[in-house]
Structure 1
Amino acid sequence: MSEKPERIVLAATGDLHVNDADANRYRDLFAEISEKADVLALTGDLTNFGRTREAENLAEDLRHCTIPVVAVLGNHDYECGQPEEVVRILQGAGVTVLDEQAVEIAGVGFAGVKGFVGGFDRAELGAFGEKAIKDIVDESLGEARKLENALRTLRTDRAVALLHYSPVAATVEGEPKEIWPFLGSSRLADAVDRFDNVRLVLHGHAHRGSYEGRTRRGIPVYNVAQFVLTEQFGKPYVLYEV
């Protein structure tokens, strides 16, 4: 687009969990989304185990998407230990996979990271005790720093943050409370809240979670795992005006 529109339509979904046998599973869905939106955001767990064939199946379907696609990886995309290969295959299909960088599309900035575990608010895990605990906290802090750094590079007055793990407790409600610390971290919300241009935050991961929440500063957070969206809207994606 040569001119930057005042608003764009953003489609979002996540937790596709494409497997080895899933040829053409999402082809028609991506074609439909292309007719309704300007940009598609994918919030991780794009594959089921991070296998090469899974990524290739998804990439083939994404070639039927005629609008720009931005994405982050999820924990399932790391399972086989080759997230770089998943990224390479998806990039070959034209997907911008966000991690330490940001991108501007039609006047809207997109920054994203996978995120990590750690818990929320007063129940957030602290860096005390065994090295293994400190390593978890370091990883969580590192993901939040990457998100903050990526958002800082954007000069747009509208920005969207993409995550896999949740930044707030509200959107994991519905999941067993015992596993909430493994579904996200408030540190991600702290990073987002430092920026006035972030219009919304999208994440997945919590299949049985809730659709909507807010950061402490009031920035809207949406759980766009396809299972949540299907329950909420009767279809596996949602549209936003940004």
Structure 2
Amino acid sequence: MNESTDTIILAAIGDLHVTEESEHRYRDMFAEISEQADVLALCGDLTNFGKTREAEILAEDLRACEIPIVAVLGNHDYECGQPDEVAHILQDAGVTMLGEQAVVIEGVGFAGTKGFIGGFGRGELGAFGEAAIKAFVDEAINEARTLENALRSLRTDRAVAVLHYAPVADTVAGEPLEIFPFLGSSRLADAVDRFDNVKAVVHGHAHRGAYTGRTPRNVPVYNCAQFVVETALGRPYALLEI
């Protein structure tokens, strides 16, 4: 664990996809992370189908983690229609679920939300036409607004945004171009770039994406899907100095 009061070491990982057959799969990793980092961020798709037992298995393994944990859910965690139950189980294991509320740990603010799809830059879907399209775009806007409001509540010199969906196209590079609009939304980057204190963004979801990118205002973005980090760093979690 980092002893400096000037920086913290953040471990970040996404896309654990815990199944009912995954008992104790991550216990040793969480214990290892406790020795390497000051805070752990979980970047969504923590379960494979959002089942109660999957969340319970993950919660059991997370008890091996002795450092503060912040998390957001991913799309897989919604599959069974009980994301609140998944979040409740993880909260009972000591996880701080980000969303409407931000949190400050060791002088660093953490704000987050799942995010949503919609595309990037000039390819971003606009709210025009059918009601279904407008509802779709409203969801993306609401997720970005949740992130923006949480970041606004922080008064720290340093903040980290924790997401599941990507805020920039940089970190989905490597995925098929046809599915880029389904991997994230520039609206999330717009929210991040309104605040000078955001030092990093971590996300998951794009299993075949790139590890690093930047928002338009040059905030570093890290794709922490475990499959991407394993390829880039030789271990399934990122370690970032904040």
TM-score where L is the length of structure 2: 0.98
What letter matches 2:191 in structure 1?
Answer: A
What letter matches 1:173 in structure 2?
Answer: A
Give the Cα separation in 2 of the matches to 1:126 and 1:36: 43
What letter matches 1:198 in structure 2?
Answer: V
What letter matches 1:15 in structure 2?
Answer: D
Give the Cα separation in 2 of the matches to 1:129 and 1:74: 28
Aligned: 1:92 with 2:122: no
Partner of 1:222: 222
Contact 1:118–1:125 (8 Å) recurs in 2: yes
Give the Cα separation in 2 of the matches to 1:86 and 1:171: 27
**Cα shift readout 1:20-55 (whole Å, capped 9, x = no counterpart):** 111100000000000110000010000000000000
Correspondences of 1:160-179 after superposition (within 5 Å): 160-179=160-179
Contact 1:4–1:106 (8 Å) recurs in 2: no
Partner of 2:145: 145
* C-alpha displacement of 1:5: 1.6
Partner of 2:75: 75
SS of equivalent residue, structure 2 residue 7:
coil
SS of equivalent residue, structure 1 residue 206:
coil
Gaps of 5+ in 1: none
Structure 1 runs of 4+ aligned residues shifted over 2 Å read none
Partner of 1:63: 63
**Cα shift readout 1:56-103 (whole Å, capped 9, x = no counterpart):** 000000000000000000000000000000000000000001111100
Give the Cα separation in 2 of the matches to 1:19 and 1:46: 9
Partner of 1:240: 240
Give the Cα separation in 1 of the matches to 2:205 and 2:10: 19
What letter matches 2:109 in structure 1?
Answer: G
Correspondences of 1:2-17 after superposition (within 5 Å): 5-17=5-17
Partner of 2:181: 181
Partner of 1:105: 105
What letter matches 1:191 in structure 2?
Answer: A
Partner of 1:21: 21
TM-score where L is the length of structure 1: 0.98
Correspondences of 1:42-57 after superposition (within 5 Å): 42-57=42-57
* C-alpha displacement of 1:215: 0.5
**Cα shift readout 1:132-151 (whole Å, capped 9, x = no counterpart):** 11111000000000000000
Partner of 1:114: 114
Contact 1:34–1:65 (8 Å) recurs in 2: yes
Change (3 A) 1:169 1:32: same
Identity %: 73
Contact 1:119–1:186 (8 Å) recurs in 2: yes
The total of aligned residue pairs comes to 240
Contact 1:4–1:107 (8 Å) recurs in 2: no
* C-alpha displacement of 1:234: 1.1
* C-alpha displacement of 1:238: 1.2
Give the Cα separation in 1 of the matches to 2:239 and 2:184: 24
What letter matches 1:186 in structure 2?
Answer: S
Give the Cα separation in 1 of the matches to 2:4 and 2:95: 21
| Aligned-residue RMSD, C-alpha | 1.0
Partner of 2:199: 199
What letter matches 1:51 in structure 2?
Answer: K
